Structure 1
Amino acid sequence: MKLVRLVLLFLLLPFAVHAQGIAARFVDGYADSDGVRIHYVTLGNPKDPPVLMIHGFPDYWYSWRFLMADLWPDHFVIAIDQRGYNLSDKPVGEQNYQLGYMVGDVAAVLHQLGLAKATVVGHDWGGVVAWQVAMTRPELVDRLVILNLPHPRGLRRELAANPQQQKNSAYARSFMQDGFASRLSVAALVDIAVPDKSDVDTRAKYTEAMQRSSIEAMLDYYRQNYPREPYAPDTSPVVQVKAPVLVIHGLDDPFLLAGALDGTWQWVDNTLTVVTLPHVGHFVLRDAPAQVIPVVRHWLAH
C-alpha cells in the first residue's frame, strides 16, 4: 500500500508543480445567467481553441487545475463554478437547479467570453450538464469530453434493470431526502473531494470553497434531476449528440457502474471514443491525471 501511494505521488508531482507554477495566470470572470452570477476562471490565449470545463459534486473550478495546466499553451481553457458552488450565486429553491438552468449558465459564460462554441468537458454532475448542453444546445459544442458520467439514458436503463446499480445509488436517494443537508458538513465534503489529508494546501482551498458553497443547493441537483423510484428506462424520443465524444471512465467507480456505458453509441451521431481505466475510481482526473490528461490531449489533437 505504501509503495502504491509513493508511485501515485511520483506521478502526480509534475502536474502539481506545473499547476502551481501557472497559478498566478488564472484570470477570474463572471457571467450573468438570467440574474444568476456564474464565476469562471480562464487560462491561455483567447484566440486559441476554447475548452470549457464543468465540475461535479462536491467540487469547484479548481478540480480542473491539472488539465488546465497541461492544455493552456495551445488552448484557451475555462473552468466554471457551477451555481451553488464557491463564488457563483446560490439561488434559493430547488427549482433553480433544473438542468435547463445549468445549460443556460454554460451558454452565458461562452457569451460573456465572446465564444460561439467550445469543447465542453464535464465530470459527475458536470458530465450531466455537458451531455445536456450537447443535446439541447448543439451549436455550442465543438467536441464533448465526459469523465465518469455515463449517458443519462444508460444510467436510467441500469437503474431500472441492474440491482447492483440500484444498491450503489442509495447515496443519491439519501441526498434527495428533506433535511439531509444538516447531515453533511464542510469537513465531510472536503474529505470526499480531497481524501489525502497530507495535501494540506488543497484541503485548505477546498475548505474555503465549500464554506462559500451551499450544501442545500448541492443536494438540489439530485432532487431536481436524479431519477427517482420506481426506476424506469427513458422512453422519450432520442436526441443524438452531434459532436465527437470522448468518454473516460474509472472502472472502480462505486457510484456509477460501467455497465451504463453499454450502448452509448446509440445516442451519438458522430465518432465515439470510450476509454476505461482499471483500478481508478469516480474522481478519475484527481486520482489518475497521468492517465487521463494524455488521453484528452491526444484526442483533442486528432
Structure 2
Amino acid sequence: MPSQGTGGSDPQGAKPRAMTLKEVASSFVARATVLAICLPFWAMASLTTLVRFLQSPRTFFKYKSLEPAPKDPLPGLKHRFVEANGIRFHTVSTGKVVSNQLMLCVHGFPSMWAEWRNQMAAFRDDYEVVAFDMRGYGDTDKPKGVRNYAIDHLVDDIGSLIPALGYDKCVLVAHDWGAVAAWGVAYYYTNRIERLVVMAVPHPVSMNENLDLEQWAKFWYMFMFQAPLLPELFLTNNEGEQFDAIFKKLPPGCTPRIPQEEIDRLKRAFAQPGAATAAVNYYRALFANMFWIPKWKQQRRVTRRNGVLKVPTLCLYGDRDIAMGTKLLRGMDKYVEDVQVHVFKDCSHWIPEERPEEVNQLMRDFLAGKRIAGSLH
C-alpha cells in the first residue's frame, strides 16, 4: 500500500523477511480455527441451496438473461472506460461543471455504479459526479485470483483513478466495500481527498476494538463466502432470486426503495462469466490477507492506520443494519480529527437508496462546512 499522502513506496523501507516457525504455526492455527467456524455456515448454505434445487430443478441453473441491457436511471450520463492501476474501469459521469470539482462515488457489495443514481441527480450541478464499477463488478475488468481483490489493490484503484479522471483531488463518497477501501484511501492518499463520506462502515480501528461475539455472528455470510463455488451458486441460482431477498426482505420498520429494474441490473451483471466469483473474492481476500502478510509488515500497517485522520469525515449509518451493529461506531472520534456521525432510525444497510433525500441533505450540509445536528464530534 502506498504511503500516506499522494502515494508511493513504503517510507519505512523495511526489507521482507521469511516468517518464523512461530508465525507459521500461528498462521496454521488461525487457518484451522477459521475453517472450523466456516463449516457450519457452509452446511447451512449447502442445505438452503439444495432445497432451492429440489423445489425448482428446471430453473435452478438458469441465469438472468444478458439482454436487453438496462437503461440508465438518469438522462445525460456519460459512460467511458478509464485505465488506472492496471485495471480498465467502467465509469459513469454526469459531465464536467464550471466549478471543476469531482465527487467520486464507490459502491459496495453486491451493487454497482447505479447505487449512486440519487446522489448523481442531486449533485450534478455542483460537481462532476463519477460513479464506477469496482474491479470485478459490472463492465470493469475482472482479474482472476483471490489476491487481486486484497484491500491494497482496492485502495490503489481509487487513489489512481482520481488523477486518471483528470483531477488532483475529490470528494470521496463510499458505501460498504467502497467505504472499506475509502478509509484506506483517506490515509494513504490524503492529499487527494478533500472530504470523505462513508456509509455503513466505521473507522477500521474502532470497528476492530468493538468486535464481539454478537457482531461476529452478524458476519456469518463472510464465513459462508470462504467456501469454493458454493457462494457463487447461492447468489446466482434461479435467475438470481437471492438479490430480491437481499434488497426487499429488510428488517422490521425499514422500507425497501430499490426499484426492480435496479435489482434486475445486478442480476444481469452477476450472470456475466466470473462476476460472482470476483465479488465473493473480496471476502476471501479479506480472510486470506491475515495469512499472506508476515506479522512484522501487518503490524506496521496497523500502527500507521492508528494515526489520527485529518480528512473531514461524515459517517452515515442505519440503526437496523443487520451486518454492521451501531456499537462499532464507539470511539471513532479517537481516530478521526473531524468526524460527524449520523445514525438513521429504521434504516438498514442500503442507506443511499433507502434514505436518498436525507442523505443528500446531510451531504450538502457537510460539504458546506455545517455541523450535523446530533452528530458525534
| Structure 2: segments with no counterpart, 5+ residues | 1-70, 250-255, 291-297, 370-377
Picking from 311, 315, 323, the partner of 1:247 is 315
Return the offset for 1:191.
Answer: 3.9
What is the 5 A alignment of 1:114-133?
114-133=166-185
Q: 2 CA distance for matches of 1:163 and 1:79?
A: 35
1:171 alignment partner in structure 2: 221
1:201 alignment partner in structure 2: 261
User: In terms of mean alpha carbon deviation, does 29-38 or 245-254 score higher?
Assistant: 29-38
Is the alpha carbon distance of 1:228 and 1:28 closer, same or farther for their aligned partners in structure 2, counting shifts above 3 Å?
Answer: closer
What is the 5 A alignment of 1:286-297?
286-297=353-364
User: In terms of mean alpha carbon deviation, does 281-290 or 58-67 score higher?
Assistant: 281-290
Cα displacement string for residues 14-41 of structure 1 (whole angstroms, at most 9, x for unaligned residues)? xxxxxx9982311112222343211111
Cα displacement string for residues 202-235 of structure 1 (whole angstroms, at most 9, x for unaligned residues)? 2332322332361111111111125999xxxx97
The answer on whether the counterparts of 1:121 and 1:146 sit within 8 Å (CA) in structure 2 is yes
Return the offset for 1:197.
Answer: 10
Is the alpha carbon distance of 1:198 and 1:281 closer, same or farther for their aligned partners in structure 2, counting shifts above 3 Å?
Answer: closer
Q: 1 CA distance for matches of 2:364 and 2:314?
A: 11
1:14 alignment partner in structure 2: none
Q: 1 CA distance for matches of 2:314 and 2:335?
A: 13
Amino acid paired to 1:242: K
**1:222 matched to 2:276:** no
Cα displacement string for residues 67-116 of structure 1 (whole angstroms, at most 9, x for unaligned residues)? 11001111111111000100100000000001121122213321222101
> TM-score w.r.t. structure 2 length?
0.68
Picking from 324, 336, 342, the partner of 1:268 is 336
Cα displacement string for residues 163-195 of structure 1 (whole angstroms, at most 9, x for unaligned residues)? 210111111111122333232213323542466
The answer on whether the counterparts of 1:44 and 1:74 sit within 8 Å (CA) in structure 2 is no
Q: 2 CA distance for matches of 1:221 and 1:21?
A: 27
> TM-score w.r.t. structure 1 length?
0.84
What is the 5 A alignment of 1:47-86?
47-48=98-99, 49-86=101-138
Q: 2 CA distance for matches of 1:292 and 1:117?
A: 22
- Partner SS, residue 75 of structure 2: helix
Amino acid paired to 2:189: R
**1:298 matched to 2:333:** no
Work out which of the two has the higher radius of gyration on C-alpha atoms and give 1 or 2. Answer: 2
The answer on whether the counterparts of 1:70 and 1:293 sit within 8 Å (CA) in structure 2 is yes
2:198 alignment partner in structure 1: 146
Q: 1 CA distance for matches of 2:333 and 2:279?
A: 30
Return the offset for 1:152.
Answer: 1.3
The answer on whether the counterparts of 1:248 and 1:277 sit within 8 Å (CA) in structure 2 is yes
**1:283 matched to 2:368:** no
- Runs of 4+ with deviation above 3 angstroms: 193-200, 226-229
Q: 2 CA distance for matches of 1:198 and 1:83?
A: 23
What is the 5 A alignment of 1:173-192?
173-180=223-230, 181-185=232-236, 186-192=240-246
Q: 2 CA distance for matches of 1:299 and 1:124?
A: 20
- Partner SS, residue 248 of structure 1: strand
Q: Give % identity.
A: 27
Picking from 85, 95, 105, the partner of 2:147 is 95
Q: 1 CA distance for matches of 2:330 and 2:348?
A: 18
1:26 alignment partner in structure 2: 77
What is the 5 A alignment of 1:37-56?
37-48=88-99, 49-56=101-108
The answer on whether the counterparts of 1:50 and 1:78 sit within 8 Å (CA) in structure 2 is yes
Is the alpha carbon distance of 1:227 and 1:244 closer, same or farther for their aligned partners in structure 2, counting shifts above 3 Å?
Answer: farther
| Structure 1: segments with no counterpart, 5+ residues | 1-19
The answer on whether the counterparts of 1:27 and 1:41 sit within 8 Å (CA) in structure 2 is yes
The answer on whether the counterparts of 1:31 and 1:37 sit within 8 Å (CA) in structure 2 is yes
Is the alpha carbon distance of 1:264 and 1:244 closer, same or farther for their aligned partners in structure 2, counting shifts above 3 Å?
Answer: same
Cα displacement string for residues 264-300 of structure 1 (whole angstroms, at most 9, x for unaligned residues)? 111113x211111111001111111122111111111
- Partner SS, residue 278 of structure 2: helix
Q: 2 CA distance for matches of 1:22 and 1:170?
A: 33
Tell me how many residue pairs correspond in the alignment. Answer: 276
Return the offset for 1:263.
Answer: 0.7
Amino acid paired to 2:89: I
- Partner SS, residue 129 of structure 1: helix
Cα displacement string for residues 139-176 of structure 1 (whole angstroms, at most 9, x for unaligned residues)? 111100011111111222233xx221011111111112
Return the offset for 1:50.
Answer: 1.2
